[in-house]
Chain A
Amino acid sequence: MHIKQELTERHVLTLTVDNEAGTLARIAGMFTSRGYNIDSLTVADISEDHAISRITIVTRGPPPVIDQIIAQCERLIPVHKVTDLTEAGPHVERELALVKVRGTGDQRVEAMRLADIYRARVIDATVNSFIFEITGGPDKIDTFVALMREVGLVEVGRTGIVGLMRGAEGS
């Protein structure tokens, strides 16, 4: 007997939650205990009084599982609202990455040139290294990081995705 694999879809969910102890553990742990995937998760408080946080989760699963994930999130007491940006329509996704490369001579010139094309900014430089700051969709960052690998990548830090609906309305 073999374990069967199912076809999955990628969805970006945003959750509005009470900013209290344990909320993040409750949500992340629910994903683990029910066997759901988390590709990335970001969290920061967003209200003036610091009472409310917004969490963006990128997850993956067959459509009925995505539906369950949303329902299970909504069932948690500190979760006020869950929006599936992928379902809801046009939206933007952005991620920020810090990318450190080391090199001299041609390698260094090439790194600069590529950074320019990808609109990455230099935020730290030494004679043999750069740290670039780049924002964009996850594909753009993936590609940029792959290119940097060719020219001396040392390490990468990524924030994970945040997303908002397009247009004038809030989600």
Chain B
Amino acid sequence: MSEDFTVPEKSGAEILIDTLIEQGVDTVFGYPGGAVLPIYDALFQHKKIRHVLVRHEAGAAHAAEGYARSTGKPGVVLVTSGPGATNAVTGIADAFMDSIPLVVLTGQVATNLIGTDAFQEADTVGITRHCSKHNYLVKDPADLASTVREAFAIATKGRPGPVVIDIPKNVQVATAATDVKRPTSSRFSPAGEADYAEINRAVELLANAKAPILYTGGGIINSGPDASAALRELAELSGAPVTSTLMGLGAYPASGDAWLGMLGMHGTYEANMAMNQCDVMLCLGARFDDRVTGRRDAFSPDSIKIHIDIDRSSINKTIRVDLPIVADVGAAIRQMIEVWKGRKYKAAALDDWWARIKGWRAVDCLSYPGSTQEIMPQYAIERLFAATKDKSPIITTEVGQHQMWAAQHFHFDAPNKWLTSGGLGTMGYGLPAAIGAQMGNPDALVIDIAGEASIQMNIQEMATATQYRLPVKVFILNNEWMGMVRQWQELTYESRFSESYSDSLPDFVALAEAYGWKGIRCSDPAKLDEAIAEMLAYDGPVMFDCRVHKTSNCFPMIPSGAAHTDMILHSDEVSGTMDDEAKALV
């Protein structure tokens, strides 16, 4: 039995920490509990990993998302079994919808207790199976290292997403030989470069188009900064206008000449009209989401559609395309540029197309009624943008009208600066995401543009910011309403405002002070700039209660079930009711 050299054994918890370090993890967002105590003990003894103690596990998952989205690195979450894991589920589902790379470590009851309804047992693997990219239950410490390695590869490669590793407590305590190198499986091989035949065809279509458009999405951001740079070059070469989904903002600079603004339900008139009227649509890392297409059978009826996406299941899911290309979008754009230059294509004469676009732009769809008495919410965003644009801030949002106003009136010139919950639309995302972003970018200005209702969903994370001295700013567009709900009720339910008033609001300034933050309140448009300057000058976290006009609606808007051409531009065009077909759409 006893041999000359014995293989050193380590506990599962130690193997886990070692493998995290090996994977380059420096920050973990977590919350302790019985089923992860061995891991917390191992963390305590290792000083290489910074642990950020959140105040609720949903906060941990969203913070990890904010960290990931702003740094391009995977976010790591550590929570206990049962309620720890179930609390994290919203963040996992959010990351799944928005393709954010996370590795979520959950404690589990000991293997011999699984299935017995043990204390704090939940079927984490079952619960997260369809809202994660992949998940594991590890039953042997000898499998931990290889599982963690595969999890990081799966989370970050191809279309990114959350991966959950459920680790029973006895597996954290039991030991295994540390030199056990299980073969790393090759079962996961995401798409890389595109087929040149397809690229040639795409370039040919784009070069010969009379009315082309580049419809870009979050895939470009996920593909990395190179993809954004390549997109800019392709836009330049082709002379085509560029629009983007909510998730893709910043990939093409909002200050660029070809920029049409965001498309979709609350997108600009020019972006949606150009999508509708184009003859060649090049979709780059976007997925024809229902918020983008509006009524499907009326979506860009006469265009030839090219779709480049790394996830084959995104292609032809809702809209049938003419040229599907499964590839990493950054690599594919580079290939298109190479072919374009190689064949010495010239940008087609697009003067007519741009003239039409100019006409649509002249509608000035983002204009809104001004006021000297009250702060208009759009004005607040404009002033915040004006005061911060030179600081290249990272903006997170909650969900609602303020999110859409931020998307419309705050402009992004670089990727990884705009963090918002697009697919799942999770209220409560913005504050923890800002905390995660600030952890990953200590010197950046990080602002959560919030609504007074959403901010209350993860308000407890204020303490996290205080504890880690994170100078995040929360800029609340306080309209005293769940404004987006109120808007739909006004438009679809004849203004029956069922349960959408934000009653019994806390005093946000007093609340800020209670958490050790600075609180600022402003309701006078004439004093807004000064108040924003005060917020920015403060070296620490600030909660800004910006009292805005209460019943403003977010326009333009394509009502659900309507075509792009049926856009509502201003509130006077609103009908007040809708038929059942439209009501049934989300």
Contact = CB atoms under 8 A, between A and B. Distances in A.
A30 B130 contact: yes
Interface in B551-586: 579-581, 584
Contacts of A26: 129
A1 B316 contact: no
Given A1-B580, A64-B320, A68-B316, A77 B130 contact: no
Contact of B187 (A18, A21, A64): A18
A150 to B, nearest CB: 44
A74 B312 CA distance: 9
B154 A77 contact: yes
B133 A77 contact: yes
Given A71-B317, A74-B312, A77-B133, 15 more contacts: A1-B584, A18-B187, A22-B129, A22-B135, A22-B137, A25-B126, A25-B129, A29-B129, A29-B130, A68-B317, A75-B311, A77-B154, A77-B187, A78-B187, A80-B187
A64 B313 CA distance: 11
Contacts of B581: 1
A65 to B, nearest CB: 10
A71 B312 contact: yes
Contacts of A33: 130
Interface of A: 1, 18, 21-22, 25-26, 29-30, 33, 64, 67-68, 71-72, 74-78, 80
Contacts of B187: 18, 77-78, 80
A78 B311 CA distance: 16
Which 6 A-B pairs have CB atoms at the shortest separation, nearest pair first?
Answer: A71-B313, A1-B580, A77-B134, A33-B130, A71-B312, A75-B313
Interface string B140-176: 0000000000000010000000000000000000000
Contact of B125 (A22, A74, A76, A78): A22
Given A1-B580, A77-B134, A72 B129 contact: no
A123 to B, nearest CB: 36
Contacts of B580: 1
Nearest to A72: B313
A69 B134 CA distance: 18
Contacts of B129: 22, 25-26, 29
Contacts of B316: 64, 67-68
A64 B135 CA distance: 28
A78 B133 CA distance: 11
A3 B106 CA distance: 41
A25 B135 CA distance: 12
B5 interface: no
Contacts of B315: 71
A109 B581 CA distance: 59
Contacts of B311: 75
Contacts of A18: 187
Interface size band for B: 20 to 34
Contacts of B584: 1
A84 to B, nearest CB: 14
Nearest to A25: B129
A63 to B, nearest CB: 10
A74 B133 contact: no
24 contacts: A1-B580, A1-B581, A1-B584, A21-B137, A25-B126, A26-B129, A29-B129, A29-B130, A30-B130, A64-B320, A67-B316, A68-B316, A71-B313, A71-B315, A71-B317, A72-B313, A74-B312, A75-B311, A76-B134, A77-B133, A77-B134, A77-B187, A77-B188, A80-B187
Contacts of A29: 129-130
A29 B317 CA distance: 19
B491 to A, nearest CB: 18
Nearest to A3: B584
A111 B126 CA distance: 46
Contacts of B133: 77
Interface string B396-440: 000000000000000000000000000000000000000000000
Contacts of B320: 64
A72 B579 CA distance: 33
B261 to A, nearest CB: 31
Nearest to A18: B187
A165 B541 CA distance: 65
Contacts of B125: 22
A74 to B, nearest CB: 7
A29 B131 CA distance: 11
A72 B313 CA distance: 6
Contacts of B135: 22
A97 B537 CA distance: 78
A76 B584 CA distance: 31
Interface-centre pick from B135, B188, B312, B579 (highest chain A CB count, 10 A)? B312
Nearest to A17: B187
B577 to A, nearest CB: 14
Nearest to B126: A25
Contacts of B154: 77
Contact of A75 (B126, B312, B579): B312
B134 A68 contact: no
A29 B154 CA distance: 20
A112 B70 CA distance: 73
A80 B130 CA distance: 18
Contacts of A74: 312-313
A68 B130 contact: no
